[in-house]
Amino acid sequence: MGRSGLTLIELVLVLALTATLTGAVGYGFMAGLDQQRRHTARQSDTDPVASLERQITRLIEGAKLTEDAEDTTTYMVGTADATGDTGTLGCDTLVFTTTAGAPDFGPLLSEDDYETQYTAAGPAGGVTEVQLGGQLQGRTESVDGLLVRIQRPSDGDYTQGGNQRVLSGHVGSIGFRFWNGESWDDTWDTATERRLPGAILVSYVLADDATETVRTFTVAVPASDVDANSTVTGSVE
């Protein structure tokens, strides 16, 4: 008479094989993620300029204005340097609010208590204020390279706050121009007309380039309603 069902030994073998396969799949998945991280890191090390362009593109593509005309916590302001000269590359400082600011995972790694972290770095949520340029806020000394200042969340004052650091030491100078639907403006201020430009032209020169070749790339602003049929007439020239 034939037997039916599984013996205890067979069941144990099946469970062992299942556990082995599950572990192998999980290991393969984690190894794939690790390989992707290593590949991204290698790309950044090999071509830091391309990495910089990707970072700037991601931030600008997330540019955000609320629909409330009285809201002062979202904005975009492109300004010239202290002399008022926009130069050949456009304005040299860009401040804007974006939803693309990467969350700060530092608190997950820090052993400090919440109050200490809050005092040092501020809150870690909300729309992010980003400033790109070559001048430190609130300080007189000069720093080589492209600087970024990040404040999360935006507090409505685009002239101060947040943490600032060197985003890239490879950039000698940088400028920004703004598409108003008909032409490129050298400056922009959403306090004049509360609209985002259709696109931003980013121009920069590498610090170690003896030929001072101007490199450019254009970033479309998805949240903008500016086009040839709806131009911005109040943007600052």
- Say yes or no: 11 and 36 in one domain: yes
Last residue within a domain, chosen from 9, 31, 46: 46
Q: Which comes out higher in pLDDT, residue 149 or 71?
A: 149
Q: Quick one: pLDDT band at residue 83, thresholds 50, 70, 90?
A: low
State pLDDT tens for residues 163-203. Answer: 888 899 899 999 999 999 999 999 999 988 899 999 999 99
The structure tokens listed for 34 are: 């690790």
Q: Is residue 172 part of a domain?
A: yes
Question: In angstroms, rounded to a whole number, what is the distance separating the alpha carbons of residues 166 and 183?
Answer: 31
Shared domain check, 151 and 135: yes
In a shared domain, residues 64 and 181: yes
State the virtual CA torsion across 26, 30, 33, 37 in degrees, nearest 10: 180
Domain containing 10: what range? 1-46
Indicate if 183 and 114 belong to the same structural domain: yes
Q: Is residue 96 part of a domain?
A: yes
Beta-ladder partners of 147: 133, 166
Give backbone dihedrals phi and psi of 235, rounded to 5 degrees, phi first. -70, 155
Distance of CA 7 to the CA centre of its chain: 59
- Confidence (pLDDT) at 29: 67
Q: Is the pLDDT of residue 37 over 80?
A: no
